[in-house]
Every structure is written in structure tokens, then in C-alpha cells.
Amino acid sequence: MGLLSFLKKKIDAPAAEAPSRPRAHDPGPITRMPLDTEAERARQREIARATAAKIDEIELEMASDIFDDDAWVGNRRAPAVASGAASAPLIDLNTDGLLGAPDLPDLAATAANAPAVEEAAILYANGQLNAAEHLLRACLVDAGRSERLPWWMLFDLYQASAREADFESIAIDYASHFETSPPAFAPLAAAEAGQPFVGATPTASLSGALDAGAGVQLARILAPSDTPVVRLQFSAVARVTPEGCAVLLSALQTLRQTGRELILAGADHLVALLRPMLVIGARDASEAPWLLLLELLLLMNHEKDFEETAMDYCITFEVSPPSFEAPARTALSVGAARATEGDRFLLPGVVEGDSAALLAAIDAHAARHATLVLDGSRLARIDYGAATALAAQLRALAAGERSIELRDLNHLVAALLRLLGAGEAARLYAHKY
């Protein structure tokens, strides 16, 4: 038995001791196996996370060998990953962009779960979150259990409504069932207050080697601008140097200190590349990778992981550990797909009612760009009427042979737009788990 198979099967081990699931005809769909005590539930969660973290480390090493044969020379020990292993996501979230796989739009729902998926998307769009949740949870124990889309839609529903406990509960079941790392909880930006900006966002797409030359790619977003939001894409970064860490760290600190709002795409991927560079106790190494990792963990609001990494940094360089301050103006683009060049049009957190002003702004942006890219990383929900109007406008814009993409959509919104035929006029890319 291979090492990966052995480690992944361990995730399922605690589940084998739990009582059997209720039959399908029992009232109320249940997706978690009942546990005797809260302590036992916490123990199983820790076992799953610890095992997933080890799988992450091994798969990261395999991916790194593709790009840098010398990356793993020597006897290195990476700092301990926080017990919440969700903050060290599996590298395969972004391997489509790294390994040259085709950048394909989101596919339609399979026949097994299509009716439930479409109904749940409509219920969610109309604000009936409880009904949508009940329908999706039923999918997890019925014919759609083997399909991942209902799980992803449920993850997005919980993130949009800031329900971390419910998210964590099904994330452990998801990790065990599909033998993969559990996804990290990252509440959608729309769940937070003070997100009024809508429009084009300056973008810096880092790719290849993140080295001293990264300053050229970052110069555009560092220039003075009236636009309060900037976007950084890391999903195409293949290798990192200490010099590149210093350049990016300076840029992130400058943007944060000047009050610019940051949208980070592929930050989990960059974190995974940084961890093997850190060696506890190696004081002759550069501090830049450590400080960049701490900055990213802060911006991602991973407090526990930040504190454990800060303590490793303190031990290594014999300095006081930095303190955690929750970021006020940062949004994450979960499991971002391959980077796209040029400015994106940032959609608002919620679209409902009269959307005429939004559609007019999209028209004006489209007139200045051959490829129209709409950024859905903040879009938690669009109601049925507004989605219908948007789909109609996209068809009108596509009639002029314009290329249109909707990127980083949550799976509930993507399912609704597919249902309304928007996929015939535009390429729909849902974010990845």
C-alpha cells in the first residue's frame, strides 16, 4: 500500500467506530455521524486535520520537485502547522494553472443531482436559505452523495452566512468521504460590512518565479489611484526566493498601511510554497519568507496558525513574536483558478431588486475592454430577477463576438446562472475547493 493511500485511509478510521447512519426514510437528513461526547467529536476532527496536514506536506513536496530539483536538498524541517490544518490547504486547489491543464469553465450539474441543485440555487437566490440548506443536506445522503457539487454549494451557503461551526462540521465529513484535505472556512466578503465599491479593480498577476523582479509586476497597483480596491493573484507562482518575499512583503504592508482594500487570489497556494522554506532554528537564513508568511496569515485572518508560526519565528530569531491584528479590508478569492490578465469588474456582495445601475456600469466597462471579466469573488447572492437581467445582458454583449468570463463565482450563484443560460454567452468559473 502506498504512503499516500495509507495516510488518507486513516481519515476514515474513526468513522468506522461510529454508529451507523440513519436510513433514508428516517425524518430529518443527517450528514454527520452521531458522537457520544463533544470531546470525542473534537478528537476525531483533530485526527482528520493532522492526517490531512501530512498529506498536504507530501503532495507539496511532489509538486515542488517538478519546478525546482534543489528545493528539497538538505535536512530541512518545516515549522509545525497549526492544529487547524484547514489553514494549510491542499496544493491541488491550484494545480490546473501550474501544471498546464486547460482552464475550463464550470461544468453543468450531473443528472444525479441536477434537479436538487437547480432548486436549491433558486431558493437561495430568493433568500430562502433554510430551505436551500435542507435540500442540499438531503443530497449528501441520497443519490447525489457521490457528487461534490452539493457539498460545495453547502460550503458556500455557510460561508456567505458566516456559519463557521456548520461549515467545519461537514468539512470533516467531506474530507473523510472524498479522501482529501478539508477546505478552510473563509467567510465571503459580502458577509462583512462596508463593502460599497463596485467597478474595475487594478490587478497584479504574479507568475513563475517570485523573485527580486516582482517589483515590476507590483508597480501598477502601488501607484497612487482613486480606486480603493486592488487585486493580487498568486495562483500561477511556481517558485519563491527570499528576495521576492521581501519585495512582496513591502508591497503588502504598503497597501495595508495606506488603507487600500486587498483581494487576494491563490493566497493559500503561496502559503504552501513558503512553508518548506522555513527552518526552525536556522538563524543564518533570511527573515523575509517568515515575515511574508506571517503577513499572509494575518491577511487571511488565520489567527491560530499565525500565532503558532509567530512562536516558531520568535524561537528562530530570538525576537518578540509579532501580534495578530484582524485585517479590516481584505477579501479572499477561495481556491482561485488560473490567473487572468487585465482589470476585472468587481461585482457587489449582494445584487437584488433593480440592477439597472450595475448593468449600465458593466456596459461602460465592456466598451473599454475586448475581454470582459466579471469578478464574483465578493458576490454572495444575486436574486432571481437580477440574475435573469444579467444573463440577458451577457447574451447581448456576446452577440458582438466579445469574450466574456465570470470568475471566482460561488457555486450557488454559478448554478443559478447556468440554469438561466448565462453559460451560453459567457464562460462561468466557480471557485475551487
User: 226 and 285: one domain?
Assistant: yes
Residue 93 within a domain: no
Residue 205 sits in a domain whose CATH number is 3.30.750
DSSP per-residue letters across 213-247? THHHHHHHHHS--S--EEEEEEEEEEEE-HHHHHH
Per-residue pLDDT of the chain (433 residues; tens, 9 = 90+): 444 444 444 444 444 444 444 444 444 444 444 444 555 555 555 655 555 555 555 555 554 444 443 333 333 334 444 433 333 332 233 333 333 344 556 655 554 567 889 999 999 999 999 999 999 999 888 755 778 999 999 999 999 999 999 999 999 999 998 888 888 888 765 444 445 567 777 788 898 999 999 988 898 788 777 677 888 889 889 999 999 999 999 999 988 888 788 888 889 899 999 999 999 998 888 999 999 999 999 988 888 999 999 999 999 999 988 888 877 666 665 444 444 445 788 898 899 999 999 999 999 889 888 889 998 988 999 999 999 999 999 999 998 778 999 998 999 999 999 999 999 999 999 988 8
pTM (2 d.p.): 0.59
| Residue 97, number of CB atoms within 10 A of its CB | 21
Domain boundary among 141, 167, 191: 191
Number of domains present in the structure of the chain: 3
User: 386 and 327: one domain?
Assistant: no
Domain boundary among 156, 191, 226: 191
Rg (CA), the chain: 22
Residue 170, C-alpha cell as written in the block: 461537514
Residue 194 makes CB contacts below 8 A (sequence gap 6+) with: none
Domain extent for 422: 344-430
Q: Are 431 and 149 in contact (CB under 8 A)?
A: no
Domain boundary among 169, 191, 213: 191
Residue 99 within a domain: no
User: Measured between alpha carbons, how far apart are the two ends of the chain, in Å?
Assistant: 27
DSSP per-residue letters across 261-323? EEEEESHHHHHHHHGGG--TT-TTS-SHHHHHHHHHHHHTT-HHHHHHHHHHHHHHHTSPPPP
Interatomic CA distance for residues 41 and 17, integer angstroms: 12
Residue 316 within a domain: yes
Residue 48 within a domain: yes
DSSP per-residue letters across 23-76? PTTSSS---S---S-HHHHHHHHHHHHHHHHHHHHHHHHHHHHHH-TTTT-S--
